[in-house]
């Protein structure tokens, strides 16, 4: 009995993000929807039941739009979601498509007021002449409802496509980055933002690089980093100048002239940058590698991890089928000791910084059965010696790619987006990676 699933492209997951406690997990998709999952509390009777994530709320965040001035369609696809640290019973998150950032409030209601004086039970206004006595309205229990409401819309500040949003550690401001500019917003003010980085040349023909990602430092509200398509990272300090076009630090690895090729520039473009939880390190991902940088060392990365080195010989065909432009994200575990990033064939990679061990795992229907153990996978390079379970480079499926991943802030729980499937894996036995 073969089951065929026809994939609606609107269901393709385009971002995944845990909130600051890890109790909630949000995904955004190409159809402009946000789905929030909530972790179930632990049950005393079934020790394994803890940590199942179930759908908590689903809402339409963005709709397709049309820019009549430029005759451009603006996709509804959610590019990024960022949670605000929780400050009261409600949760807040920012979501953005290419142009417009929205702040959403997610709250619960389990009581409703009854016994209005001027309205009947259906909410219609009563004829005042029939009201002969006054009563005090009371709160009655009702089934739990999750309400999602838009609180702010931050629009009209980006000419180019928004690729990043990042909430500052002051909890009052956030930034949004597009290809050429980074803007700083106050969370309460929607009608203006401050431009803090502008790399747009006077003449667009002189354009040599674009901004690919940007993030605030987790503890110092004046520091942020942004990465570029040229493979550089720039650390900026907002205390030094209002316009941070002059960076404080430039992190760049000198190119090995012997390794130079037609593809060098494309594959050196940084697709993601993430501060470690400690704030001491930066993790970046380019097409073939993940790198860890020390904020105190600009000349070269501290560590370089080969994600799929076997693709070096395949760059020509990856260029022809546009895969070489895929933007993979990367993530730290809660203790900054392990990093994770995606690859092709629904594989994802983990690198243990202490033991220097690495593993390739697969997100598949087979591996997602309850309590299934993930088997490490191996890819053998073209012409290499093949072992029994090895997969040859030539049989990798390049349409199956893990671009978006997230790691629970404190526990060994990871979320992996594989096209329209979300996989949540947790390590039940121990909290360190084998």
pLDDT of residue 44: 61
pLDDT of residue 5: 46
pLDDT of residue 7: 52
**What's the CA gap between 86 and 107, in Å, rounded?**
11
2 pLDDT exceeds 80? no
Average pLDDT over residues 130-157: 90
45 pLDDT band (50/70/90 cuts)? low
pLDDT of residue 290: 98
pLDDT digits (tens, 9 = 90+) for 361-409: 998 877 666 666 778 888 877 666 667 778 888 889 999 999 999 999 9
**What's the CA gap between 119 and 331, in Å, rounded?**
53
Asked whether the beta carbons of 293 and 304 are under 8 A apart, the reply is no
Q: How far is CA 391 from CA 22, 284, 321, 394, in A?
A: 34, 27, 21, 8
Residue indicated by tokens 């049989």: 395
**Percent of the chain's residues with pLDDT above 70:** 91
pLDDT of residue 47: 58
DSSP state of 311: G
3 pLDDT exceeds 90? no
Residue 141, C-beta contacts closer than 8 angstroms, at least 6 positions apart: 110, 111
433 pLDDT band (50/70/90 cuts)? very low
Average pLDDT over residues 122-130: 84
1 pLDDT exceeds 50? no
Helix or strand or coil: residue 59?
strand
**What's the CA gap between 324 and 315, in Å, rounded?**
7
pLDDT of residue 408: 96
Helix or strand or coil: residue 431?
coil
141 pLDDT band (50/70/90 cuts)? confident
115 pLDDT band (50/70/90 cuts)? confident
**What's the CA gap between 295 and 282, in Å, rounded?**
7
Q: How far is CA 422 from CA 11, 106, 389, 402, in A?
A: 11, 21, 26, 10
Q: How far is CA 242 from CA 136, 183, 232, 247, 372, in A?
A: 55, 11, 22, 12, 52
pLDDT of residue 377: 86
pLDDT of residue 50: 60
pLDDT digits (tens, 9 = 90+) for 323-368: 999 999 999 999 999 999 999 999 999 999 999 999 999 988 776 6
pLDDT digits (tens, 9 = 90+) for 248-262: 899 999 888 887 888
Average pLDDT over residues 59-84: 92
Average pLDDT over residues 266-288: 97
DSSP letter for each residue of 181-212:
EEEEEETT--S--EEEEE---SSGGG----EE
**Mean of the per-residue pLDDT values of the chain:** 89
Asked whether the beta carbons of 186 and 194 are under 8 A apart, the reply is no
4 pLDDT exceeds 50? no
Average pLDDT over residues 182-191: 96
431 pLDDT band (50/70/90 cuts)? very low
């Amino acid at each position: 009995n073969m089951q065929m699933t026809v994939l609606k492209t609107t269901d393709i997951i385009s971002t995944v993000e845990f909130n600051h406690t890890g109790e909630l997990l949000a995904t955004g998709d190409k159809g402009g929807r946000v789905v929030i999952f909530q972790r179930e509390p632990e049950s005393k009777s079934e020790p394994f039941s803890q940590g199942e994530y179930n759908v908590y709320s689903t809402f339409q965040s963005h709709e397709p739009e049309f820019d009549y001035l430029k005759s451009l369609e603006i996709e509804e696809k959610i590019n990024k979601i960022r949670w605000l640290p929780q400050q009261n019973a409600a949760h807040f998150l920012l979501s953005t498509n290419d142009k417009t950032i929205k702040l959403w409030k997610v709250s619960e209601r389990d009581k409703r007021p009854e016994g209005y004086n001027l309205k009947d039970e259906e909410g219609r206004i009563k004829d005042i002449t029939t009201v002969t006595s006054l009563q005090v309205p009371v709160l009655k229990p009702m089934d739990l409802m999750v309400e999602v409401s838009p609180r702010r819309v931050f629009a009209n500040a980006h000419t180019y496509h928004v690729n990043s949003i990042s909430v500052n550690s002051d909890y009052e401001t956030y930034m949004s980055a597009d290809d050429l500019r980074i803007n700083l917003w106050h969370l309460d003010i929607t009608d203006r933002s401050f431009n803090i980085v502008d790399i747009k040349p006077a003449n667009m023909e002189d354009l040599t690089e674009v901004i690919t990602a940007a993030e605030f430092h987790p503890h110092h509200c004046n520091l942020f980093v942004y990465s570029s398509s040229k493979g550089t990272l720039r650390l900026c300090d907002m205390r030094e100048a209002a316009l941070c076009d002059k960076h404080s630090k430039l992190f760049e690895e000198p190119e090995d002239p012997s390794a130079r090729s037609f593809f060098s520039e494309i594959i050196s473009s940084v697709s993601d940058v993430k501060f470690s939880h400690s704030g001491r390190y930066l993790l970046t991902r380019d097409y073939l590698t993940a790198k860890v940088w020390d904020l105190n060392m600009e000349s070269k990365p501290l560590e370089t991890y080969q994600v799929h080195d076997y693709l070096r010989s395949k760059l020509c065909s990856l260029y022809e089928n546009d895969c070489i432009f895929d933007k993979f994200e990367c993530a730290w575990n809660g203790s900054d000791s392990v990093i994770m990033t995606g690859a092709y064939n629904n594989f994802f990679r983990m690198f243990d910084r202490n033991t220097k061990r690495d593993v390739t795992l697969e997100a598949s229907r087979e591996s997602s059965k309850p309590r299934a153990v993930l088997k490490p996978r191996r890819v053998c390079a073209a012409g290499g010696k093949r072992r029994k379970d090895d997969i040859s480079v030539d049989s990798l499926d390049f349409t199956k790619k893990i671009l978006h991943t997230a790691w629970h802030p404190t526990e060994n729980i990871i979320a992996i987006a594989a096209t329209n499937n979300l996989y949540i894996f947790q390590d039940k036995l121990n909290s360190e990676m084998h």
